[in-house]
């Protein structure tokens, strides 16, 4: 099993970062993410927590020979469940691969929280556990190493893409706030 962890600070408040998260895809840096479909969304009446289940369609650049050996194509699916708690200012996202799960498991957990020492900023923590299944026991270490490197590359690209999405979102939010303030003073 290979473990991955990354922590990053966004220089924007949690409310903006968590709202921008819904506009993360598509973006030009994450061309491997083909589609994101909402399967279910509900608000827990007792807590006010918004729970969303999504199906993420990705197209990984994997050598054709490997895909043929595993009996699959370039398109893979990931199930994600997110929870937004506006009271505690926490957005958590847990995902697991649905495709090729008998060969390999990639369980990812992402958390956006208000930064513990800088309230105007947001702390991002991403963790993943990557493990080869029993069908790949002979090559488990090789497959896990390759997958961990690919995960790191995609995480870096994803963070870069989200930074651009976030910057555009902030510009729009500031323009909207300025327009509302102008309209209110008229």
3-state secondary structure of 180: helix
Q: What is the pLDDT of residues 5-33, one digit of tens each?
A: 999 999 999 999 999 999 888 778 888 89
Closest residue by Cα to residue 21 from 48, 54, 59: 54
Q: What is the pLDDT of residue 156?
A: 85
Cα 147 to Cα 128: distance, rounded to the nearest angstrom:
11
pTM, 2 dp: 0.81
Give residue limits of the domains in the chain: 2-181
Mean pLDDT, residues 77-101 taken together = 96
Q: What is the pLDDT of residues 122-156, one digit of tens each?
A: 999 999 999 887 666 676 777 788 888 888 888 88
Closest residue by Cα to residue 9 from 146, 123, 171: 123
Task: Tally Cβ neighbours within 10 Å of residue 36.
Answer: 16
Q: Which fold has domain 2-181?
A: Alpha-D-Glucose-1,6-Bisphosphate; Chain A, domain 4 (3.30.530)
Question: Which tokens sit at 172?
Answer: 């729009």
Q: What is the pLDDT of residues 101-125, one digit of tens each?
A: 888 899 999 999 999 999 899 999 9
62 and 153 Cβ atoms separated by less than 8 Å: no
Of the chain, the percentage scoring pLDDT greater than 90 comes to 49
């Amino acid at each position: 099993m290979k473990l991955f962890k990354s922590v990053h600070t966004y220089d924007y408040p949690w409310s903006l970062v968590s709202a921008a998260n819904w506009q993360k895809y598509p973006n030009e840096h994450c061309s491997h993410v083909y589609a994101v479909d909402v399967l279910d969304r509900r608000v827990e009446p007792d807590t006010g927590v918004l729970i969303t289940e999504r199906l993420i369609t990705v197209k990984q650049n994997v050598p054709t020979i490997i895909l043929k050996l595993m009996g699959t194509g370039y398109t893979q699916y990931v199930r994600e469940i997110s929870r937004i708690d506006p009271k505690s200012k926490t957005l958590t996202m847990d995902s697991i691969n649905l495709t090729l799960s008998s060969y390999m498991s990639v369980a990812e957990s992402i958390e956006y929280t208000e930064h513990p020492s800088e309230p105007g900023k947001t702390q991002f923590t991403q963790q993943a556990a990557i493990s080869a299944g029993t069908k790949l026991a002979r090559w488990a270490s090789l497959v896990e190493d390759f997958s961990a490197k690919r995960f790191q590359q995609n995480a870096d690209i994803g963070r870069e893409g989200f930074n651009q999405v976030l910057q555009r979102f902030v510009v729009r939010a500031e323009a909207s706030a300025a327009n509302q303030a102008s309209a209110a003073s008229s």
